[in-house]
Structure 1
Amino acid sequence: MSSASYGSLLRLPIPQRLALASIPADFADWLDYAAVVALVVFAWGEGPFALAMFALALSLPYVLVGPFVAVVVDRVPIRTVLVVSNLGRGLATLGFAFAGDTAVLLALVFLRGCIDSAFTPARQAAIQASTPEELRGVANGLHQAINQTSKIAGPALGGVLLAVWSAQNIFMLNAALSLLAALIALGVTLPPRPVSDEEKGKFFTESLKGISEFRRSHRLMIALIFSACAYFAFFLYDALIALLAEGFGFGATAFGLSISASGFGGLVGALGAGSMAGKRPMLAMSLAAVISGVTTCAIALSAQMGWSIQLPAFLLVLCFMGGATAFMLVPYRTIVQAEAPPDRIARVFAAGEAVITLTMLSAPLIGSFIASQWGTPVAFLAGGAVLVLLGAVTLASHRGP
Structure 2
Amino acid sequence: MKKSQTFSLLKRKDFRLLFYVQVFSSFGNWLDVLAINALISFQWGLDLRANAASVIVMFLPYIVIGPLSSVWIDRYDQKKVMMFSTLFHVMVIFGFFVAPNIWVLLALIFLKSSLASVFEPARQSSNRKVVPNEYMAEASSLSQIVLNVTKIVAPLMGGVLLVMTKPQMIFLIEGIMYGMALMLIFKLPAFEKGGQENCIAKASYWVDFKEGFSLIRSNRLLLSAISITSISMFINFLYDSFFAPLSLSLGLDKTGYGLISSALGAGSVTGSFLCGTYTNWRKNPLRFMSIGRIISGVFMLLVGLGCYGFVHGNLLFWMIVFAMIGCVGTALFVPYGFILTTETPANMLGRISAFSTAIQSASSLLAPVIGSLLGKWLCLASVFTVSAVTFILLGSVSFFITNNKKSYEKKNLVKEQA
TM-score (norm 1): 0.95
Q: How does 1:186-335 map to 2 (within 5 A)?
A: 186-189=186-189, 191-196=191-196, 197-198=198-199, 199-275=201-277, 276=279, 278-335=282-339
The answer for the alignment partner of 1:65 in structure 2 is: 65
Task: Read off the aligned partner of 1:290 and give its amino acid letter.
Answer: I
Matching of residues 132-147 of structure 1 within 5 Å: 132-147=132-147
1:387, CA displacement in angstroms? 0.9
Shift of 1:166: 1.9
Partner of 2:369: 365
- Pair 1:177 & 2:163 matched: no
Q: Which amino acid aligns with 2:111?
A: L
CA contact (8 A) 1:138 1:278 kept: no
Percent identity for Structure 1 against Structure 2: 29
| Letter paired with 1:250 | L
Paired position in structure 2 for 1:395: 399
Distance 2:101 2:207 in 1: 38
Moved more, 215-224 or 196-205: 196-205
Q: Aligned-pair distance for 1:221?
A: 0.5
Aligned counterparts of 2:89 and 2:205: Cα–Cα separation in 1: 23
Inter-CA distance 359–107: structure 2 relative to 1 (3 Å threshold): same
Deviation at 1:384, TM superposition (A): 0.8
Q: Distance in 2 between matches of 1:267 and 1:3?
A: 18
Per mean C-alpha deviation after superposition, the further-off stretch among 194-203 and 389-398 is 194-203
Corresponding residue for 1:356?
Answer: 360
| Residue matched to 1:149 | 149
Superposed CA RMSD: 1.8
Shift in Å, 1:253: 2.5
- Offset, 1:353: 0.9
Q: Distance in 2 between matches of 1:35 and 1:204?
A: 39
Asked if structure 2 preserves the Cα contact closer than 8 Å seen for 1:286 and 1:394, the reply is yes
How far off is 1:46 after superposition? Answer: 1.3
Which shifted more, 176-185 or 309-318? 309-318
Counterparts of 1:89 and 1:370, CA distance in 2 = 38
**Whole-Å separation in 2 of the counterparts to 1:213 and 1:92:** 35
Note the alpha carbon deviations across 1:239-261, whole angstroms, 9 max, x for none. 11212111122122222222222
Letter in 1 for 2:288: A
- Who is 2:115 aligned against? 115
Please state how far the C-alpha of 1:190 moved relative to its aligned partner. 5.2
- In the TM superposition, residue 324 of structure 1 has moved relative to its aligned partner by 2.5
The whole-number CA distance in structure 1 between the counterparts of 2:136 and 2:282 is 7
- Work out whether residues 79 and 191 of structure 2, in 8 Å CA contact, stay in contact via their aligned partners in 1: no
Normalization by structure 2: what TM-score?
0.91
Aligned partners of 1:396 and 1:340: how far apart in 2?
24
Give the letter for the 2:117 counterpart: S
Equivalent pair of 2:77/2:191 in contact (CA under 8 Å):
no
CA contact (8 A) 1:28 1:175 kept: yes
Deviation at residue 168 of structure 1 after TM alignment: 1.3
User: Does structure 1 retain, via aligned residues, the 8 Å contact 2:237–2:367?
Assistant: yes
- The 3 A distance-change label for structure 1 pair 103 and 19 is same
Structure 1 runs, 4 residues or longer, greater than 4 Å off = none
- Alignment partner, residue 28 of structure 1: 28
Deviations 1:21-79 (A, max 9, x none): 11111101011221111111001111211111111122111101101121121111121
Aligned length: 400
Unaligned runs of 5+ in 2: 409-418
The 1-side partners of 2:139 and 2:12 are apart by 11
Contact 1:127 1:136 in 2 (8 A): no
CA distance, structure 2, for counterparts of residue 307 and residue 142 of structure 1: 36
